[in-house]
Amino acid sequence: MTIEQIEKLIPHRKPMRLVDEIVSMNETEIVCRKTFSEDEFFVQGHFPNHPIVPGVIQCECCLQAGAILLAQIAEMADDAVPVATRLDNVKFKNMVRPGDTVEIHAKLDDQVSNAFFLTGKMLLGGKVTARLNFACTVANPG
């Protein structure tokens, strides 16, 4: 899936689009990739001379992967956007730095009405950097 196709599914744009490509996807799971550059705004001051990707950005990567999955499986109107409503059990295991390419996984665990419950994780070299459970709902921004 190209960046243009990704941007048709989610409202995120540079500099906040944090998914570069879709590796695989089925009805309940998606695997994406992201390569972090030295130019990313969030590493400019986090931390000078020792830049690392903030944990909140790692979470956002998982949320965006989940949003792409939901856009593919949920009957969303063209102007609907997935909105995070909860993050639970967030754990950070390893650091991610500029130059790293990560795999982003999101798995749909359950759906209750318009609430979707997912599990996300980010891997670097096969090792978990972040893991979280999260919930989203589909909202109309208008």
Q: Which residues contact 61 (CB under 8 A, 6 or more apart)?
A: 18, 19, 32, 34, 102, 104, 120, 122
Non-local (6+) Cβ contacts of 86 within 8 A are 134, 135
**Could you give the C-alpha distances from 77 to 64, 139, 140, in angstroms and in order?**
17, 9, 8
**Cis (ω within 30 of 0) for the bond into 15?**
yes
* Residue 43 Cα distances to 1, 37, 40, 52, 102, angstroms: 27, 9, 6, 6, 16
- Identified catalytic residue from 12, 46, 50, 105: 46
Residue written as token pair 């009405």: 113
Q: Is 46 a catalytic residue?
A: yes
Catalytic residues: 46
